[in-house]
Amino acid sequence: MSIISQSPNLSPEYACEIAREFYGLKVTADLLPSERDQNFRLRTDDGREFVLKIANGEEDRSFLEAQNQAMARLQARQVTYCPELIQTHSGDDLFEVRANGSAYCARLMTWLPGEVLSRCKWQDPDVLRHLGTCVAEVDSVLKGLDHSALHRSDFPWDLSNAPVVIDRHIDKVEDSKMRSHIGEVQSIFAQYVAPRLADLERSVIHNDANDQNVIVQRTTMVKPHVVGLIDFGDMVHSYTVSGLAIAVAYAMLDKPDPLMAATRVVEGYQAVRPLSDDELAVVFPMACARLAVSACMAAFQQRLRPDDPYLSVSQQPIQRTLHHLLDVHPRFAEATFRNACGLPPNPTAVAVGHWLLENQDVVSPIMPFDLRTVSPAILDLSPCNADLPVGRDCEDSLGDLVAKAMSRSTIDVAIGRYDEVRLIYTDDAFGGCCPTDERRTIHLGMDFFVEANTPVHAPLAGVVHAFADRAHAQDYGPTIVLRHEVDDLVFYTLYGHLSRESLQEIEVGQSIKNGQPFATVGTSAENGGWHPHLHLQVITDLLELDDSFPGVCRASQREVWTSFCPDPNRLVGIPATVFPEQRASSDATLATRRKFVGRNVRTGYDRPLQMIRGLDQYLYDDTGRMYLDAFNNVPHVGHSHPKVVEAADRQMRLLNTNTRYLHGNLGDYVERLTSTLPDALSVCYLVNSASEANELALRLVLAHTGRREMIVLEHAYHGNTTSLIDISPYKHDSQGGTGAPNWVHTVPIPDTYRGLYRRDVPDAGPKFAEFVADAIDRAGGAIGGFIAESCPSVGGQIILPQGYLAAAYAHVRAAGGLCIADEVQTGYGRIGSHFYAFESQAVTPDIVVLGKPIGNGHPVAAVITTPDIASSFDNGMEFFSTFGGNTVSCAVGLAVLEIVEDERLQAHALRVGNHLLEGLNALADGHAVVGDVRGAGLFLGVELVRNHDTLEPAVDEADFVINRMAERGILIGTDGPMHNVLKIRPPMPFSRGNADHLLATLDDVLSTLPDNYQT
């Protein structure tokens, strides 16, 4: 029977009838969206699901048979993530149904549960790798298949036809910018793909792994993995690699770093089906061509269906992405893919490297002296050099650094290293638009700091390839690129920061002899503003960039750029022993740590960060990436605050000794410290950590009351010693813990979001305090003391309800107990409204414990109590802490207090904290996963929940958020008993601008979570 060219128009009832008649299935049917065919989702009562596909009347039956053969073949090879064909009663996998007087081909296959990849707003490297693997597996299985219907000579979606399709339809693309992008893609295809086509393997491929055809499920609530590759309707016999190129094309759409996304797909593919050199070279241009074809086809279809808005909407991601892709040189993409596949990124570089090693004797010295025989000073321009400030001031220090280095050397030259991490490139040209975006930090050349006007000699014979005066601040200034041809190899040397005079007589094409002085080193006024030096770079592929070839690259592309730019020392010949060893990579540091440090000393974040520098509220990792620190409260007045550093340094050089000798620092410090506390708290003990301080607080309780019984809050943490684990339910009640000992009585944490009494309950504070009274009763009426953080932190950044501490303290004191305020997290103005958080509860504790922030990272902690309690403790036994109250610690402690006051950090915390709180509350309105926003000043918590009624904690989501924030350069943490509270607790200089940056980034990250949370 002939099939009439017509769209099927079956009702769901009819679909159910077909299922019953041909398969004996009792189902319900829902129509699925489809452009040409009619597809129904069928569900049986017992939960089985299928897709009934009714082909368009125009569809060629033999093509459907070929698709079925492909699916059967995949099924036979146990490829579980493609739909499985179901045979009818009579054993057919393709049959005809009649409707509206016509006949249509129908098939039934399994339904793959999940969601389409395009709906996952965050696609992690693993899911992209997995996608590549699936495409390679499917196409490898299909390789053995052939069918005449799959040789579709003018099929527009066959990438072999891309140039024809683009030619045919480019004029229909209305947007002129898009048209010009497509034109560029067309020439890239002609240049990089066309000449290789004859050498590419051909086979049957799936040919449509676009993100609508890839089904994923989430392992945790957030992490997707591929469970399906569907739709065999674009299958074709073509270049095998185009199957990968299509997956890559869609994986790149709207990604912040499309090349990185593409690389992950290639990596996964390569693991199953290793790619040839030619295939690796064409993947990227082919992927761009696929996007161009899609844009052209959409323009064509738009002409046919002018009222279909979907056509132009679906093209927006392509428009947004294509122009970014055109910034990526196809050979750079090729090198990136090769690198990811474990191949040399740029094979020419390997050959050039060998040549240089073997031909040292023909290379002439670049400087007027031969650095192979005289040892120059080697500079450290990395962030590890404490003499090199971070930020714009660094330029001024370069000269001093060079002069100092030269004074230790026999010749007047100081070398800046190749492949060094540097923070000195502060101009906008080196960075992204956002301050925590990855910047270009890796130096690709070698610097020779010498006097201006020093002659520069050609190391080898060459020809002037390009020259320019790149006058922008921090650029190369006058620059010359020489081209060298040796044996069969071509490579380039680039000379930056020359004098303007060097460019006056020079011409492109001019020959330069080996050893010829052809330029001189420029002054600061002409060389881009740098201290005079020559930047020498060896380049094995100029990527058409010529004099604008970068001298500094992003760390994430380091391996690829350094392969294009081998170490210039191969030309210069400074013995390797002259270079001091550099810091270990984070992988090496991690390996050493794993070997020698206990495993339960944990690192934060999925990818451990190696920090090497800190300043104010910023940290810098070993790649020079800057992070906004919104998590660490220990550097209270800012990382490496110069006044703290100066105080420690000065005192360290004078004297550091203990409290057995008199020293003014101790008195100055404790006098100032106690002046911040209520008058009653006037006796101070200095120790080294908050754990030591809380230990001491317990001893004071015992000495004063003669009783050991303590009341503690559920989920509290007070330190790492044996007794403190005993009073820390956060530890003893969780993994590895053995519960509370009999002298410890735990009371519910006054959490007004999750607890028994909520915010709308009147007198929630005193009501929660009743649990303290109950605990006293359980302890027999007498108690040693009560310890509580004035704002519980690990308990989930809790703000105690008003009246809680007053009522709790009253119960405790009535039972003869003492009240300890653990202010380790909250002291020194953090909560903004008060210097200490207990003040916000209008109480005066008997003992206050301080730690963490009070030494700004130097180990200082303190216990402050009343003279009465101190005198009970003074029972004849000496109290001595070797380092507690040492002269350096006191100098540091005093400096911190002065800074808090001088810089008015408490008022600042209140202002910025309120702004942040307001912004977080606004985020809560837009993101259902945000259950609660709470805090005060710069002590804030955002609790994530999956359901606002049940308060099911969104634990995976919280972990997801902090890791994505870290990837975006913002450090926050999680806490709370279920680890579902985002903890924001930055160094106090954290600014309003930082807050806005955090809020915008958090908004973005929360938007990438699946949107199925219930309010």
Ligand X SMILES: Cc1ncc(COP(=O)(O)O)c(C=O)c1O
Q: If we measure between CA atoms, which residue out of 987, 968, 910 comes closest to residue 616?
A: 987
**Of 527 and 865, which CB lies nearer to ligand X in the complex structure?**
865
Query: Least distance in Å: CB of 997 to ligand X?
Result: 26
Q: Give 29's strand partners.
A: 42
- Under rule CB under 6 A, residue 163 binds ligand X: no
Measured from the CB of residue 326, what is the shortest distance to ligand X in angstroms? 50
Least distance CB 692 / ligand X (angstroms): 7
Q: How far is the CB of 718 from ligand X (least distance, A)?
A: 5
**Site stretch for ligand X (CB under 6 A), options 103-111, 114-122, 805-813, 819-827:** 819-827
Shortest Cβ distance from residue 547 to ligand X (Å)?
A: 54
Per-residue string for binding with ligand X, 876-915, x by CB under 6 A?
Answer: ----------------------------------------
Q: Which of residues 429-458 bind ligand X (CB under 6 A)?
A: none
User: How many residues bind ligand X, per CB under 6 A?
Assistant: 15
Strand residue runs (E) in 100-201: 102-110, 115-116
CB of 724 vs ligand X, minimal distance in Å: 7
Nearest 5°: phi and psi at 858? -80, 140
Judged by beta carbon, residue 222 or residue 820, the one nearer ligand X is: 820
Smallest distance, ligand X to C-beta of residue 719, A: 4
85, 824, 860, 888: residue in contact with ligand X (rule CB under 6 A): 824
Q: What phi and psi, each to the nearest 5 degrees, are found at residue 455?
A: -70, 150
Please identify, using beta-carbon distances, which residue of 338 and 718 lies nearer to ligand X: 718
In terms of CB distance, is 267 or 789 closer to ligand X? 789
Q: At what angle do helices 887-902 and 905-926 cross, to 10 degrees?
A: 70
**DSSP state, 602?**
P
State the nearest-atom distance from the C-beta of 567 to ligand X, in Å: 44
Please give the structure tokens belonging to residue 948.
Answer: 């606002």
Q: At 532, list the tokens.
A: 């005079």
CB of 789 to ligand X, least distance (A): 5
Shortest reach from residue 819's CB to ligand X, in Å: 15
Residue from 825, 840, 841, 980 in contact with ligand X (CB under 6 A)? 825
Taking a C-beta distance cutoff of 8 angstroms, is the pair 215, 227 a contact? yes
Amino acid symbol at 450: V
Q: Residue 854 Cβ, how far from ligand X at the closest point, in Å?
A: 10
Rounded least distance, CB 606 to ligand X, Å: 22
Interaction with ligand X in 182-241: which residues (CB under 6 A)?
none
Q: How far is the CB of 747 from ligand X (least distance, A)?
A: 16
Residue 437's identity, in one-letter code, is D
Between CA 546 and CA 554, with CA 550 as vertex, the angle to 5 degrees is 150
Which CB sits closer to ligand X, 618 or 717? 717
Distances (CA, A) of 327 to 176, 181, 184: 18, 11, 11
State the nearest-atom distance from the C-beta of 826 to ligand X, in Å.
8
Q: Nearer to ligand X by C-beta: 173 or 896?
A: 896
Which residue stretch of 121-129, 172-180, 655-663, 820-828 sits at the interface with ligand X (rule: CB under 6 A)? 820-828
Nearer to ligand X among residue 532 and residue 851 (C-beta): 851
- For ligand X, give the closer residue by CB, 852 or 997: 852
- Which residue, 123 or 691, has its beta carbon nearer to ligand X? 691
Which stretches of 275-414 are DSSP H helices? Answer: 277-304, 309-313, 316-325, 330-340, 347-358, 394-407
Task: Write the secondary structure of 3-34 as one string of H (helix), E (strand) and C (coil).
Answer: CCCCCCCCCHHHHHHHHHHHHCCCEEEEEECC
Q: Which is nearer to ligand X, 514 or 720 (CB)?
A: 720
CA distances 83 to 171, 202, 913, Å, are 39, 24, 53
Contact call for residue 974 and ligand X (CB under 6 A): no
CB 785 → ligand X: shortest distance, Å?
A: 15
The nearest distance, CB 849 to ligand X, in angstroms, is 7
Q: Which CB atom, from 132 or from 973, has the smaller least distance to ligand X?
A: 973
The Cα–Cα gap between 663 and 886 comes to 9
Residues 346 and 794: their CA atoms lie apart, in Å, by 50
Write out the two tokens for 29.
Answer: 């049917």
682-721 residues near ligand X, rule: CB under 6 A: 689-691, 694, 717-720
Separation between Cα atoms, residue 313 and residue 959, nearest integer Å: 33
CA-wise closest residue to 853 among 617, 636, 619: 636
**Shortest distance (Å) from residue 130 CB to ligand X:** 38
Q: Which is nearer to ligand X, 416 or 855 (CB)?
A: 855
Closer to ligand X by CB, 408 or 602: give it. 602
Residue keyed to tokens 């750029």: 561
440 vs 639 by CB, closer to ligand X: 639
Which residues, numbered 731-770, are part of the site for ligand X (CB under 6 A)? none
If one asks whether residue 789 binds ligand X (CB under 6 A), the answer comes out as yes
Residue number, 787 or 843, with CB nearest to ligand X: 787
| Sheet strands side by side (includes 861-865) | 683-687, 861-865, 847-850, 818-822, 785-789, 710-713, 744-747
CA–CA dist 772, 31 (Å, integer): 61
Q: Which is nearer to ligand X, 232 or 730 (CB)?
A: 730
Pick the closer one to ligand X by CB: 691 or 723: 691
Distance CA 1000, CA 437 (A): 14
Contact 982/955 with Cβ under 8 angstroms? no
Element (H, E) at 686: strand 683-687
Hey, which residues between 384 and 423 contact ligand X (CB under 6 A)? none
Distance CA 635, CA 627 (A): 14
Q: Encoding tokens for residue 234?
A: 């674009």
Interface region with ligand X, contact rule CB under 6 A, candidates 49-57, 101-109, 642-650, 818-826: 818-826
Measured distance CA(347)–CA(563) in Å, rounded: 9
Kindly tell me which residue out of 568, 851, 941, 976 binds ligand X, with binding defined by CB under 6 A.
851
Looking at 332-340, 385-393, 822-830, 903-911, which segment touches ligand X (CB under 6 A)?
822-830
Stretch that binds ligand X, among 4-12, 453-461, 755-763, 817-825 (CB under 6 A): 817-825
DSSP string over 698-749: HHHHHHHHS---EEEETT----SSHHHHHT-HHHHTSTT-----TTEEEE--
Which residue's CB is nearer to ligand X, number 526 or number 822? 822
828 is a contact residue toward ligand X (CB under 6 A): no
* Site membership for ligand X, residue 822 (CB under 6 A): yes
Q: Exposed e or buried b for every residue in 439-454, given b needs 16+ CB within 10 A?
A: bbbbbbbbbbbbebeb
SS3 of 660, please?
coil
Residue 683 C-beta: closest distance to ligand X, Å: 20
Interface characters, 260-299, with ligand X (x: CB under 6 A): ----------------------------------------
Looking at 537, 793, 865, 889, which residue binds ligand X (CB under 6 A)?
A: 793
How far is CA 933 from each of CA 112, 907, 940, 994, rounded to the nearest angstrom? 39, 21, 8, 18
Computed on alpha carbons and rounded to an integer, the radius of gyration of the chain in Å comes to 35
The residue ranges that bind ligand X (CB under 6 A) are 689-691, 694, 717-720, 789, 793, 822, 824-825, 851-852
